[in-house]
Amino acid sequence: MDKFSLKILSTLIVTATLLGCNDDKKVEEDTKPVTQEEKKKEPLSQPLVSAIYTADPSAHVFNGRIYIYPSHDTATGTPEDDLGSHFNMMDYHILSMDAPGGQVTDHGVALHIKDIPWAGRQLWAPDAAFANNTYYLYFPVKNKQDVFQIGVATSSRPEGPFTPEKTPIAGSYSIDPCVFKDDDGRFYMYFGGIWGGQLQRWTNNKYDSSAKNLEGDQTAVLPRMARLSTDMKSFAEPVKEIKIIDKDGKLFREKDNDKRFFEAAWMHKYKGKYYFSYSTGDTHYINYATGDNAYGPFTYQGVILNPVDGWTNHHSIVEMDGKWWLFYHDVQLSGKTHLRNVKVTELKYNEDGSIQTINAYK
């Protein structure tokens, strides 16, 4: 073999060796664990608005258009704690759109805390309803004794502005009102939230400021409900507890915190069945339970939405043009638990009526 051929052979051997080394390096890189910093979550949905921070979306179809009644998060500088003191919201902005995916309109301030005579602080998650040719906005806010109650305000338009009643709804307490209209035209309010929502302080509709959060094997605190009077501004009956039970008919204990109720009650109906959904709070799931009437009991069925970025989640479910939609929030815009953004994604049922679990990230 001449010198020229030897030189070519040598070059080929070196090249092959280098390629082999590079392939080994690539295999090593491909099998190397991906760190949390390297793995970026891709959101399933994008925020509906970005000019303000919004959370806790209660969605309804009024006049063929979707109206969303969210909380309005602001950076107040209040230190974080387990009572949610850093959620010190001051007003409500109502959003609307022709359909999911369409352009979103922010209708501006619909109600401000300074216009509520009995209010002290913390204007938390609201809901809305239409009856008597009037739109009703239901809202929780701490009174001047720092106890949450639920108020109501009215308007001739779904986007407001709303005029609040001078006093809260008699017999109301805690947070997160959801107002549901049944097929017979009756309206029911579901409500409650533990920890900062104070529900654990209420037993037999009486308030005990010294009551502590429940623990371990203690039976979990149950959400509350009452039928609304025809004036939509008062309860037609005493407030009742709602039972959420497992498949064996047993109530959940506080240590069952991936299934028990924490806050964010929502009620909807699908094929004649009542679906009561809620947040588990400290375990961050949106779960659901089903029943045969508005009062329950409701049997636990599973998870609607897996945990999102941010400590809280709060949702609503609405039908439009034959499709169902889940509204929820996360912290994509800010990365901060108290500065959230509202989102929407399609919700789907299986043939047996069960809800397909949604992951908020791809």
Catalytic residues: 56, 263
Joined together, the tokens standing for residue 175 give 């947070």
For residue 285, the 8-state DSSP code is -
Top pLDDT among 212 and 2 is at 212
Residue range 116-168, pLDDT digits in tens: 999 999 999 999 999 999 999 999 999 999 999 999 999 999 999 999 999 99
Residue 9, φ and ψ in degrees, nearest 5: -60, -45
**38-41: Cβ within 8 A, 24+ apart:** 41/309, 41/361, 41/362
pLDDT at 39: 52
Query: Tell me: the pLDDT tens digits for 36-63?
Result: 444 568 999 999 999 999 999 999 999 9
User: pTM for this structure?
Assistant: 0.88
Secondary element (H or E) of residue 226: strand 224-227
Mean pLDDT of 227-233: 98
Phi, psi of 92 (to 5 degrees): -125, 135
- DSSP lists the bridge partners of residue 93 as 109
Cα separation values, 320 from 97, 231, 232, 323, 325, Å: 12, 27, 24, 5, 8
Q: Which residue has the higher pLDDT, 31 or 65?
A: 65
Distances in Å between the Cα of 3 and the Cα atoms of 6, 16, 260 are 5, 20, 82
Domains, the chain, ranges and CATH?
53-347 (2.115.10.20)
Residue type, 203: T
214 vs 222: CA distance, rounded Å: 12
Which of these, 309, 344, 291, 346, lies nearest to 96 by C-alpha position? 344
Within 8 A by CB and 6+ apart from 278, the residues are 223, 244, 261, 262, 263, 264, 265, 266, 286, 287, 288
Distance CA 181, CA 190 (A): 11
CA distance 84 to 122: 9
Q: Encode pLDDT of 269-324 as tens digits.
A: 999 999 999 999 999 999 999 999 999 999 999 999 999 999 999 999 999 999 99
Strand blocks (E) in 20-164: 53-62, 65-73, 91-97, 105-112, 119-121, 127-131, 134-143, 148-155, 163-164
